[in-house]
Amino acid sequence: MRTVAEFQALAAPYHSEIRVPPFETTPAQIRDAATAAMAAGDAAIDRLVRQDPASATFESTFGALDALRSDAQLVAARFDLIQQSNPGRDMRDAGEEAVKKMQDWDIGIGYREDLYAALKAFAPRAPALSVEDRRLLDFTMRDFRREGFELPPAERKQVEALFKELSPLENDFQTNVIKARMPLVFTRAQLAGVPDSFLASPGVKTGDDAYTILVNVTPQRLMVEQNCSDAATRLKVSTAELHLAEDVNVPLFNRIVALRAEIARRLGYASWDDYQIEVKMAKNGATATQFIEDLIRGIKPKFDAELAELRALKMADTGDPKAQINFSDWRYYQNQVVKRKYTVDSEALRVYFPYERVLQGMFAIYQSIFGLKFEQLQAPYVWADGVTLWGVTDARTGEPMGLFYLDMFPREGKYNHFAEFSIQAGRVLPSGTYLRPAAALLCNFPPPSGGAPSLLDHQEVTTLFHEFGHAMHAILTRAHRGRFSGTSVPRDFVEAPSQMLENWTYDKSVLDTFAADYRDPSKKVPPEILSRLQEVRLATIGVFYRRQLSFALLDLRIHGPRPAGSPVDCLGETNRTLGEVFFPVPEDSAFIAYFSHLAGGYDAGYYGYAWADSIAADMATVFKAAPRGFLDPGAGMRMRQEIYSQGDARDVSVSIEDFLGRPRSIVPFLTKLGIK
Q: Is 195 exposed, middle or buried, given 0-12, 13-18 or 19+ CB atoms closer than 10 A?
A: exposed
CB of 105 to Zn ion, least distance (A): 28
| CA-based nearest residue to 45, from 119, 95, 100, 98 | 119
Q: How far is the CB of 470 from Zn ion (least distance, A)?
A: 6
- Taking the C-alpha atoms of residue 136 and residue 131, their distance in angstroms, rounded to an integer, is 9
Mark out the alpha helices in 507-632 (DSSP H runs). Answer: 508-511, 527-539, 541-558, 570-581, 607-624
**Looking at beta carbons only, is 66 or 613 nearer to Zn ion?**
613
Nearer to Zn ion, 191 or 423 (CB): 423
Site string for Zn ion, 160-199 (x = CB under 5 A): ----------------------------------------
DSSP structural state of residue 653:
H
Give 455's DSSP letter.
Answer: B
User: Which residues between 467 and 496 bind Zn ion (CB under 5 A)?
Assistant: 495
Residue 573: name the closest of 562, 564, 565 by CA. 562
Q: Which is nearer to Zn ion, 133 or 495 (CB)?
A: 495
- 590-629 residues in contact with Zn ion (CB under 5 A) are none
Q: Of 140 and 498, which CB lies nearer to Zn ion in the complex structure?
A: 498
User: Which is closer to Zn ion, CB of 220 or CB of 488?
Assistant: 488
Q: Specify the amino acid at residue 137.
A: L
Q: What separation, in Å, do the N-terminal and C-terminal C-alpha atoms of the chain show?
A: 52
Question: Footprint of Zn ion on residues 355-374 (CB under 5 A)?
Answer: none
3-state secondary structure 620-639: HHHHHCCCCHHHCHHHHHHH
Contact 609, 288 (CB under 8 A): no
Number of residues that bind Zn ion (CB under 5 A): 2
Of 358 and 377, CB closest to Zn ion: 358
Minimum CB separation of residue 107 from Zn ion in Å reads: 25
Least distance in angstroms from the C-beta of 607 to Zn ion:
16
CA angle (666 as vertex; 662, 668 as ends), nearest 5: 85
Cβ atoms 392, 401 nearer than 8 A: yes
Count of Cβ atoms closer than 10 Å to residue 256 Cβ = 23
Catalytic annotation, pick one of 24, 241, 306, 467: 467
List 84, 454, 498, 550, residue binding Zn ion (CB under 5 A): 498
Parallel/antiparallel/unpaired status of strands 434-435 and 16-17: parallel
SS3 70: helix
Pick 225 or 495: Cβ nearer Zn ion: 495
Q: Is 463 in the site for Zn ion (CB under 5 A)?
A: no
Active site residue 467: yes
The distance of closest approach from Cβ of residue 499 to Zn ion in the complex, given in angstroms and rounded to an integer, is 7
To Zn ion, the closest distance from the beta carbon of 34 in angstroms equals: 28
Site of interaction with Zn ion (CB under 5 A): 495, 498
Residues belonging to the active site: 467
